[in-house]
Structure 1
């Protein structure tokens, strides 16, 4: 293979072992991969694993697969794992966002490392006792013992939502907040409050809700019928909650967005199934999975990993309009 690619055997070893970054140029690495494909080369994973003392298996711990976001995280992680000759074992917590038991009797013997969402952190206690390398996603990088963290810029996403609504003239807002003690939702609440604090005349009411449509509907109904002036915008911690908020508006005889604007967070397929389509924050879930897996591979290879914060994007659709009910132009 080295002769076919015109490189040294050492270079072939680096590329096929996934350790070429920073040592071999991308064109040279591609030449080695091309030669491997032409020659029908397949690495002897059993021999490699014996030499490295690895099982080439990672565990991905997520709160649930009923949310499309975590299904896409898995897709990205599996794609990146395949590039390094690894497999991914998926473990969704049976309690959704609550505690989960150790899925392996002896995790140290069956896994090389763990990638986990902070929303499923309670599932990790027994696994961590095995001393496995851990990469956390959507978790506070300053308050975790993980070897690496990969986050989305959640705070910026909520700032974008707030600034969008403020630009449309909204000053009476309600936060339909996920009733979950998790870093990602704490960040959303802080970023929202901080952004609104800089604009005079704004009021913010918070209604907690479990992460499902009916809970979102009930929370939105409380916000829209509570004492004082009715909010002109509902800011929801997730698209599922936003779907419930839209149902609440309809049941109360309100039009979205003429009478009340609604925003979500995630940009799930649900966002465009709603009518009107939902203004929401798009989260690159597959990129999170890919970055988490690459971070774990780097940790296993004893390479430094800087905390990552992936950018997010506000997608404006027809569920938001001007506070006075006039066309918004979005």
Structure 2
């Protein structure tokens, strides 16, 4: 069976090939009516038309490929970011190559012989920023996710309202009467975790205590750190605020091993709202981060930059999800 061409679509729809190119290339707004655009898309679908992207890319001098750089695929959050970015990319005839830094947040090897020749742009998490030097992506359009908006090297930024998420978690615990806090912080030196620490310190009242313990992002590392931090009863906190759900799961394990009940003796909050949050018992109070929306906005921002359109957007809202791991502060 002969593959239908753009000329076939134009003939069937009763329009010119130029109109077909505008509509299927998503360049029709202001040039073609919505009715005609709809007719062209419907006709293309009925005929089973698929654009020859390889030929089109040669004409445009682009590959229509974006690189998404993340710390590691083992983290569910970044898998969701990819899902959102790929969805928007597909709607615009782009592909997304996912590149996890092999060492988590450390430097990475160049995944291409020449990144400039293989890519149109880069979307990168701030937690994997070191990988950008290895792939030579600094000369490409760059959209940074969850990163310092004052940094000047990026073409655009897409951020979650991390500070407000920490505010919501803090106020939730203060309302429950907690005054002795422990911040189980990520050991990763990253902007997003610095913001969490700053927001926590800002929103605690003058009559509270705050201690910080750092741990790598693993359940076992968090459990080990918390078993040490909670071992002495006289200065034990009543609430642990964790930088993410993985750390929170480790904190809950440590509490159980020490004979402490969550939330009766110790309240625990997380950050991310991973599937893990409802897999543990008790289920975890955590800040929901809409990861897929982050990916969608990241790809949308990159498309805008490639079109030469300035892109700005407010921080993406986040929401505290109260569950069973938090409750009233224990009576002294």
Please report the TM-score for the alignment, with normalisation by the length of structure 1. Answer: 0.90
1:106 matched residue in structure 2: 114
Bigger Cα Rg: 2
2:64 maps to 1:18? no
Alignment RMSD: 2.3
Alignment of 1:1-330 (within 5 A): 1=9, 12-20=20-28, 30-128=38-136, 131-196=139-204, 199-226=205-232, 228-324=234-330
Contact 1:149 1:308 in 2 (8 A): no
Contact 1:232 1:261 in 2 (8 A): yes
Distance 2:33 2:171 in 1: 43
| Displacement after TM superposition at 1:24 (Å) | 7.0
The aligned length equals 323
SS of match in other structure, 1:109: helix
Distance 2:311 2:19 in 1: 23
Contact 1:108 1:130 in 2 (8 A): no
| Displacement after TM superposition at 1:158 (Å) | 0.8
Please report the TM-score for the alignment, with normalisation by the length of structure 2. Answer: 0.90
| Displacement after TM superposition at 1:6 (Å) | 8.3
Contact 2:107 2:134 in 1 (8 A): no
SS of match in other structure, 1:319: coil
Structure 2 stretches lacking a partner, 5+ long: 1-8
Distance 2:22 2:155 in 1: 23
Contact 2:146 2:159 in 1 (8 A): yes
Contact 1:150 1:307 in 2 (8 A): yes
CA deviation string 1:245-270 (max 9, x = no partner): 00111111100000000000111111
| Displacement after TM superposition at 1:108 (Å) | 0.8
